Amino acid sequence: GDSVTQMEGPVTLSEEAFLTINCTYTATGYPSLFWYVQYPGEGLQLLLKATKADDKGSNKGFEATYRKETTSFHLEKGSVQVSDSAVYFCALELTFGQGTILTVHP
């Protein structure tokens, strides 16, 4: 069946550092891919999505490209802020990865 694997966390960075959170998937067909973010005490909310191969989703400085050849959808941000501290989930439609905790220090 479908599955999603995210890099192990937690990830701790200094403000303005570059962020990459790896995500790979196994799927049949041509699923849509998503990144969701969960801020402390809140439910998940959509960060970005891509619906077909080579699509790039972007939002709030975050980007991810749907790579069919490597079955990946890695999340990147060039310069993180303290306010980006949260849990990040990669998802393949209704199937979620295990989540990656990001902490950004001033």
Exactly one of 40, 41, 69, 70 binds another protein (CB under 8 A); that residue is: 41
- 82 φ, ψ (degrees, to nearest 5): -55, -35
The one among 77, 97, 102, 104 contacting another protein by CB under 8 A: 97
Nearer to another protein, 13 or 44 (CB): 44
Could you say whether residue 31 binds another protein (CB under 8 A)?
yes
Separation of alpha carbons 24 and 97, rounded Å: 9
Residue 46 interacting with another protein (CB under 8 A): yes
Contact 79, 17 (CB under 8 A): yes
Contacts of 67 (CB under 8 A, 6+ apart): 53, 54, 73
Q: Is residue 93 classed as helix, strand or coil in its secondary structure?
A: coil
Q: Judged by CB under 8 A, does residue 40 bind another protein?
A: no
> Which residues of this chain interact with another protein, rule CB under 8 A?
4, 6, 31-32, 34, 36, 41-46, 49, 51, 89, 91, 93-99
